[in-house]
Amino acid sequence: MTSLRIDYHSDLKEVQSDEALARLLSDAEQCAPFDRLAWWQGLTEHCGMTALLAVARSDDGIAVLPLSGSSGRLAALSNWYTFRFRPIVTGSPPLEGLARDLARRAHRLTLHGLPDEDGSASDLASAFRAAGWLVRRDRCDTNRILAVEGRKFDEYLAGRPGKLRTTLKRKTAKVATHILTRFDAEAWDEYEAIYAQSWKPEEGSHAFLRAFAKAEGEAGRLRLALAHAVDPSAKEPSPAIAAQMWTVEGGTAFIHKLAHRESGKALSPGSVLTAALMRHVMEVDGVSLIDFGTGDDPYKRDWMETQRPRYRLDMVRPLNARNWAYLACKWVRSLAAGAKRS
């Protein structure tokens, strides 16, 4: 009979003393920032999130589910900076055993941003259903990506929309771009100043993003780019008018942040800067995939060629009284929808 061990960690620092678990969640094993212990630690340290790391081990594999919440209402340990959320697994992970044990700690569990190209959403839904949970699965977001398929930048650009190609042809000579592969405090200060004057809304934790960028720079994964207006008559460099933060690892370039000053909008510095970074990650870094994160904004469609769905799983214990109001509401809505269809 296969043995099963379940552990819960609310202090993520104690995970580092578990050699096997720390190794599984390290840079060496995970090729995306959102799957690493350091990412979850950043969310707790800088974004005010609580953590409950659920770990199930059997003779056949390990399943790690990073959660947050309290009072029996748990959710994914993720936020607006997280491109996607998924369990970290090895071998034949004991997901059903973990789901059964979580019933002792939670009456409702909501996980959003789940991919299914790797089976994460389907595997979790099946495991929780088998463990006695009611599971509702909905599509909640879109992830835009580009499969490079060995193309050079100019070959790729030839297939982009005509309006974008025309913009780049007219504006590229008017904008100078600079790409850093290490963290630079002055460049980061420029990024924050640009963001403050951009069309982007105020968001999240600047401390989290700075700490993440610094760590990625030390690891050689950061691509921090700035754009300046070209002015041959200027005696001193003008302030940057656009900035972007990407990271590169495991054959993938992740586009994390981009912003431009409204005062420089006429020069299309964001488009010029994206093109420069695209060329760099394709021809210097040699990535096979470019990931533009979540959100189906029109400008992302100009650059990306493929989309992937992201899912939300809402899972409840049907016999727990704290869920009855929620279940009754769902039942009424279902009846109303059925009546409307008929």
Average pLDDT over the chain reads: 93
Q: Which residues contact 221 (CB under 8 A, 6 or more apart)?
A: 247, 248, 249
Name the DSSP class of 254: E
Lowest mean pLDDT among 50-64, 86-100, 123-137, 231-245: 231-245
72 vs 330: which has the higher pLDDT:
72
Note the pLDDT of residue 325.
84
SS3 55: strand
Q: Of the candidates 22, 68, 64, which has an alpha carbon nearest to the alpha carbon of residue 44?
A: 68
Lowest mean pLDDT among 55-64, 139-148, 192-201, 224-233: 192-201
* Cα–Cα distance, 256 to 163 (Å, whole number): 24
Q: Which residue has the tokens 């900076």?
A: 81
pTM for the whole thing? 0.93
Q: Write the pLDDT tens digit of every residue in 269-325.
A: 999 999 999 999 999 999 999 999 999 889 999 999 999 999 999 999 998 888 888
Structure tokens at 163: 């309006």
* Cα–Cα distance, 40 to 27 (Å, whole number): 13
Amino acid at position 305, single letter: E
Res 1 pLDDT > 60:
no
pLDDT band at 121 (very low <50, low <70, confident <90, very high): very high
Q: Which residues contact 43 (CB under 8 A, 6 or more apart)?
A: 49, 51, 68, 77, 78, 79, 208
Res 200 pLDDT > 70:
no
* Residue 84 and residue 34 in contact, taking contact as beta carbons nearer than 8 Å: yes
Res 339 pLDDT > 60:
no
Burial of residue 323 (number of CB atoms within 10 Å: 0-12, 13-18, 19+): middle
Q: Write the pLDDT tens digit of every residue in 210-245.
A: 999 999 999 999 999 999 999 877 767 788 999 999
Following DSSP, what letter does each residue of 74-143 receive, concatenated? EEES--TT-S----EEEES--HHHHHHHHTTT-SEEEEEEE--TTSHHHHHHHHHHHTT-EEEEEEEEEE
